[in-house]
């Protein structure tokens, strides 16, 4: 179970980042120059860069992932409320909430294992 709790939020975050990256590809549509399209592409990837930064921090400190992914999910709903059908909010914010919860469970598991190891060392087991 420990490996599952450790790896699942990290792998899901990578998959989610790749999923978000697909939306950036729409920057290449239209009649603009390649430079403008590339600029639009980079701008569309800003959420991906934020997610990568959060993942880097959360990889070591799960509590950061817990708070950050849940806050990003809430922020997405607040910022875009009423602009999309409900399924859109579930598609974007839902995985963020799930990832945040999984990082929380991973954090709790790590704390439990740390206490168990400290108990073992203190009692000479």
User: With contact defined as beta carbons under 8 Å apart, do 48 and 20 qualify?
Assistant: yes
37 has a pLDDT exceeding 70: yes
- Residue 86 tokens, joined: 């409900």
User: With contact defined as beta carbons under 8 Å apart, do 17 and 55 qualify?
Assistant: yes
From 35-44, 84-93, 111-120, the region with the lowest mean pLDDT: 111-120
User: How many whole angstroms separate alpha carbon 14 and alpha carbon 11?
Assistant: 5
111 has a pLDDT exceeding 90: no
């Amino acid at each position: 179970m420990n490996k599952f709790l450790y790896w699942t939020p990290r792998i899901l975050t990578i998959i989610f980042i790749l999923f978000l990256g697909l939306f950036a590809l729409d920057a290449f549509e239209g009649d603009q120059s390649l430079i403008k399209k590339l600029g639009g592409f980079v701008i569309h990837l800003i959420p991906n860069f934020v997610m990568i930064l959060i993942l880097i921090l959360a990889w070591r400190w799960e509590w950061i992932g817990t708070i950050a992914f849940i806050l990003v999910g809430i922020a997405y709903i607040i910022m875009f409320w009423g602009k999309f059908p409900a399924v859109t909010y579930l598609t974007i914010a839902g995985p963020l909430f799930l990832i945040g919860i999984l990082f929380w469970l991973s954090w709790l598991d790590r704390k439990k294992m740390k206490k168990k190891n400290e108990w073992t060392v203190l009692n000479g087991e």
